[in-house]
Every structure is written in C-alpha cells, then in structure tokens.
Chain A
Amino acid sequence: MGCEAVKYELVSGFETHIELSTKTKIFCGCTTQFGGDPNTHCCPVCIGLPGTLPVLNREVVRFAIKAGLAVHGKIADIAKMDRKNYCYPDLSKAYQISQLYAPLIIGGYVELSNGRKIRLHHIHIEEDAGKLIHRHGDTYVDYNRGGVPLIEIVSEPDIRSIDEAKEYVERLQQVMRWVGVSDCKMQEGSMRCDVNISVRPEGTEAFGTRTEIKNMNSITNIARAMEYEYDRQVDLIESGGKVVQETLRFDDVTGTTSSMRSKEDAHDYRYFRDPDLVTINVPRDEVEALRAEMPELPADKCRRYIEEYSIPEKDAQLLTKYRRISEYFDEAIDGVKSPKTVSNFIIGQMFRRTETESDKELFAVPTTPAQLNELVKLLDSGKIRNNLAKSTLEKMLDSGKGATDFISESDMGGVDDAALLELCKNAVDSNPKAVEDFKNGKEKAIKALVGNVMKNSRGKADAMAAEAKIKELIG
C-alpha cells in the first residue's frame, strides 16, 4: 500500500468593492458619471484641497442599506466614519474615508446554488480613489473617480472552490443590480474584487497562510488567478516551503501572480474616527421603509418560479438573472394557463435576440409583455397551434406588432374543438371507402381522412388531434 497523496482544499474569502449608482460623489456634489475628460468631475473637496471638509451624501447611506438588505445583513443602529491613512498619489487626502470600527451593515450571506451560504462579515461605505496612468515612467493623476461612493462587501473565508467563487461574484452582481444600487460593471471598474486565498489539507480545520490578490476586474481572471494561486501554494507546501502572507497582483497576460510589496509601503493604516464627520444614527423607520420597498429578491423569485409555475430550475435561473427579464415574465404570464410556455418563448426565441449580457440586462425587446401574453392566450385557447405561435412571435419581434397583425380570423377559425369535430365528421361522411378500408385493418387509410381534415382546414387543424377524433368516430 503506497502513500496516498494529500489533497488540498481551497479556502477563499472576498473583499468586493462596488460603486454605488448615486448621482453625486460621497462627500461632495460632483457627478459620479463614468469617464469624462480628466479632472473635470472635481472640486476642492474631492481633490482634497487644504481646509475642505466632507459632507456625507444621504443617498449613499440609503443605497448601502438597500445593499445590506439584499444580502440579509443586519443594519447597524449606529455607524461611524473612520480614516484609513495611507499615502499614494491617487488618494488626494492621503487617507481614505471608510469604516472600520462601526460599519453600516453587519453580517449577512450570499446563498449559492449548491445550497451553501457564504457568510458576510460586514459591508461598509467608503470613497473611491482617483486613477493613475503610468506612461514612460511618468505618473499622470486624474481625480474624476476620487470620491465616488463604494460599498465594500467583506465575506468570511467560506468559499471552497473556484466555481463557488465565480458564483459568489455572479450572485452579488445579480442582486446588487437587482436592487438598483450599482451597475456592477467589472470592465468599467464599478465592481472589483480582492481575493484572499489559502489552502489546507482536506479534512483539516486550521486555515493555511493566506495571500491576497488585489483588484481583480473580471470573473474569468478571478478564476485564472485563483487556479494559479492554488497550484502555486500547493506546490510550495509540497516542496517543503511556506506560503508568505502577502499582497499579490495578477498579470492577465502571463496568467501569474506576483508580489506587490515594496519596501516603500509599510502597511499600517492607523485607522481612527474621522473628526470631520458626525455619527450616523440609522433611523429605524427609514430602514423599515426601505425594507418594505425592496423588490422580491432573485433567489426567492427563482424558487417561486420553480415551485409555483413548475419552471425547470435552469430556466428559472435564466429568468431571474436580470430583474427586467423577470419583470417581463411576470407581466407576460398574467392569466395564462402555462407560464412555462411564456418562459419557453422568452428563453427560446427572445434570448436569441438579446445576445450579450448587457442586452439581456436591458431586455429591450420590441414585443411588449402584453403582446406576448396575447399570443400565449391564443395558444392556450387552442385557437392557434404551437408552430404558428412560434413563427408569429418571430414576426412580432421583427416588427414590434401584435399577434393579430399576423394571424387572421380564418387562421384561427377551424382549430377549436367543435370545429375539429365538424371537420372530422365531414371527412368520415364523404369518404366511405377510406372508412371501410380502415375498418378492414388498413391502417394507412386513416391518413386519407386526416388529409381531408387538413385540406378543409387549410392546414390549421392539429393533425394528431384530428386522427384521434376520427378514430373515435369510426372506432
């Protein structure tokens, strides 16, 4: 019996920065709009001119509370602002106003599809830094982003695989967009993650030494970086080395991580209460009002779609990925017999026309939910058949017109049950020969009778239903 190789478990926790979609910055009235010419979204406060003072944007607190409610966090009664001191050219005051000692949101969790809950330690509000551009060794500084409000969502080290990590980020993205606190655009930097990662032999309790990969701005890169870092740490340990606690950067060209540490930055943030800002005494009535205004959260909605409407889980996930899709669905199913049909139309046909994620998020299809609803009701009543409905929906999506613009009265006429019975009787009565052949065991003879029904209904009747009905009549 040989030695079995030790398997290593990945342990990871995330610090996720999300820019809030308020109109103005956290401590001054400058716009938070993305982009803009350099240093044009700035004022004395956000470039930290001496003597300027911050005044907290009320909406930042409200948005952060909404974010907290979206992840089941506890809204603190008292919150305070602290200064995190570090000197870097993108930080105009040499401190970032943040929260350490009394953050706004405590606890909470994000539930994954495997049922695991990733616990959150807290969520705090803080200001973003400006942007540095390094060119030919020179450093150019633009403070447009300086002072844009952020929430930092700090998770517990509960993530155990790269898939869980990816889903965790997607879930946060989904729910934060859902409640409208952020657009969570990783490519524009409005959502960024610091990934803490360590490994430990499977089955053991104690955490290994962790490293922190800073500023990850795409889910793909998060996965790549974690994979690389997991392998690196395992190799290191297996070869008798030790993981050093350090901050890493990920190079997306080489796919490797490297240490960010230099002797220039000693890390001691010397947090202390910001004396320029007063206490946030979170008004309970406002919290309750925000709670009452909260939309049904995607996870709850997804569960309901599965349970109430018998939508397959995979489809329910797709319908609840973006709030607009789910709202479209909710409107379109009003009074229909089978919500699943609506779901199939959305996922089958409409998704083909909203290819990108941002198209799906906007879900600006030409057909209104009411129009889709009308179409599905025609199908429900048996007035039209499925393939006609499908082709009609394509035409509706091309034109933005309603179902009745493409389906005439006569198209719908012969297909209901009474009409079908009439057509079948007719076929039987006028084709005694075929009836006779069928009765004598010539199975194929039925086709002639069905063909008659189809001909007389100009192809609108359901052939299967017709065959069944004819068999009933002559059987």
Chain B
Amino acid sequence: MVTREDVENIALLSKLFVPEEELDGLTESMQEIINFADAINNAPAGDEGFDNINNLSNVFREDEVIESYPSEEILKNAPEQAEDHFLVRNRE
C-alpha cells in the first residue's frame, strides 16, 4: 500500500517537489505501478542469484597518473562559477 507519506518521503529522497495538489494523483499512480511490480511476488523463488552480466571480475586500472583537465574545462558547463569553484549563490 503506497501512502501519501511514502510519496512525500521518496520525493524528498529524490530531491523532487510534489505540489500538494498532485500528491493524491501521484500516490494513486504509484500504487498502480507498484501493483504491477508486485507481480514478481508470484514468481518462483529465484535461487540462481545474480552477480553481474557476463560474470566479470577483477577489471582494474593501474595506479598511473593521467593528467587532469584544466579547471576551465572542468568548470566550462557550470551554470555559475567563481574563483575556480562551482558556485551555488545563495545571496539575494
């Protein structure tokens, strides 16, 4: 059972605002999707386990320095920046 509180909680975890007037509708729609997902509870208990596709292991890189990017490149797409930092401006 998906409750309004569940939706509020997962919205907070997801960093999404759900306007009050949409909360009921969204709860209902989430419930519907969860009902659909609940179908898996009718499946036979899986005992195969799953690790990763192709069962790969031990893929490593060596500890060798690769030149970093210039900070101008790193900051190129930042909506706001100052003094070579990404910036969240909170002043009015």
Contact = CB atoms under 8 A, between A and B. Distances in A.
Contact between chain A and chain B defined by CB under 8 Å? yes
Interface in B60-76: 60-71, 74-75
| Interface of chain B: mostly helix, strand, loop or mixed | loop
Contacts of B58: 278-281, 283
B84 interface: yes
Interface in B39-85: 51-52, 55-71, 74-75, 82-85
Contacts of B51: 279
A89 B88 contact: yes
Interface of B: 9, 12-13, 15, 51-52, 55-71, 74-75, 82-91
Interface stretch (A23-31, A221-229, A351-359): A23-31
B70 A40 contact: yes
Interface in A12-45: 22-24, 28-31, 37-44
12 contacts: A29-B66, A39-B74, A39-B84, A40-B84, A41-B68, A42-B68, A43-B74, A89-B86, A138-B82, A138-B90, A140-B85, A143-B86
Nearest to B54: A278
Contacts of B70: 40
Interface of A: 22-24, 28-31, 37-44, 47, 55-61, 85, 87, 89, 133, 136-143, 264, 266, 268, 270, 273, 275, 277-281, 283
A392 B85 CA distance: 56
Contacts of B52: 273, 275, 278-279
A67 to B, nearest CB: 16
B73 to A, nearest CB: 9
Q: Which 8 residue pairs across A and B have the least CB separation, nearest first?
A: A29-B66, A59-B63, A58-B60, A140-B85, A278-B56, A141-B86, A281-B57, A279-B57
Nearest to B8: A266
A268 B15 CA distance: 13
A137 B13 contact: no
B90 A139 contact: yes
B68 A139 contact: no
Contacts of A60: 63
A37 B85 CA distance: 10
Contacts of A280: 57-58
A273 B58 CA distance: 15
Contacts of B9: 266, 268
B64 A24 contact: yes
Contact of B84 (A37, A58, A139, A273): A37
Nearest to A38: B84
B66 to A, nearest CB: 3
A22 B85 contact: no
Contact of B68 (A22, A31, A268): A31
Nearest to B92: A137
Contacts of B61: 29, 55-58
A281 B51 CA distance: 12
Given A39-B84, A59-B63, A140-B86, 20 more contacts: A22-B63, A23-B63, A29-B61, A29-B64, A30-B66, A31-B65, A38-B83, A38-B84, A39-B85, A40-B68, A40-B70, A40-B71, A43-B74, A133-B85, A264-B12, A266-B9, A266-B12, A266-B13, A275-B52, A279-B52
A180 B9 CA distance: 44
A41 to B, nearest CB: 5
B91 A138 contact: yes
A44 B56 CA distance: 25
A28 B66 contact: yes
A57 B68 contact: no
Given A24-B63, A24-B64, A137 B91 contact: yes
